[in-house]
């Protein structure tokens, strides 16, 4: 079955500290992986995506993620968090390419709080 697991429901880090949010997936085909961020009451903003090529992808707002096929993981990292990074983060998996109708599946999210 296709699924996305975000094992951390809530993480608190100090401003300026590094961050890693974990994501594991199960997907039958070649995965197309995403990280989205959502502020309270707002929509989904795409941080970054991976389909192929370099397994370390750079995104907006200083975020990066590394695809590890052997571990079925796509962890999100940021070297130094800012108070404005406090939000809900969702990992998602889907299928890339024009010929696939496969839906995108979301993890349950990780809420990030920033300690001043």
| Other C-beta atoms lying within 10 Å of the C-beta of residue 45 | 13
CA distance 65 to 103: 22
Q: Is 41 in the site for other proteins (CB under 8 A)?
A: yes
Establish if 28 lies at the interface with other proteins (CB under 8 A): no
Minimum Å distance from CB 63 to other proteins? 17
In 3D space, the residue among 93, 86, 94 whose CA is nearest the CA of residue 110 turns out to be: 86
Q: Between residues 50 and 63, which has the closer beta carbon with respect to other proteins?
A: 50
- Per CB under 8 A, residues contacting other proteins are 32, 34, 41-44, 46, 49, 51, 90, 92, 94, 96-98, 100-101, 103-109
């Amino acid at each position: 079955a296709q699924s996305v697991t975000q094992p951390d429901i809530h993480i608190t880090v100090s401003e300026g500290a590094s961050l890693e949010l974990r994501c594991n997936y199960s997907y039958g085909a070649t995965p197309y992986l995403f990280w989205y961020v959502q502020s309270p009451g707002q929509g989904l903003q795409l941080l970054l995506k991976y389909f192929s090529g370099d397994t370390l992808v750079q995104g907006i707002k200083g975020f990066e993620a590394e695809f590890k096929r052997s571990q079925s993981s796509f962890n999100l990292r940021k070297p130094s968090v800012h108070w404005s990074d406090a939000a809900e983060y969702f990992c998602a998996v889907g299928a890339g390419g024009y010929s696939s109708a496969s839906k995108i599946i979301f993890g349950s999210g990780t809420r990030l709080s920033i300690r001043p």
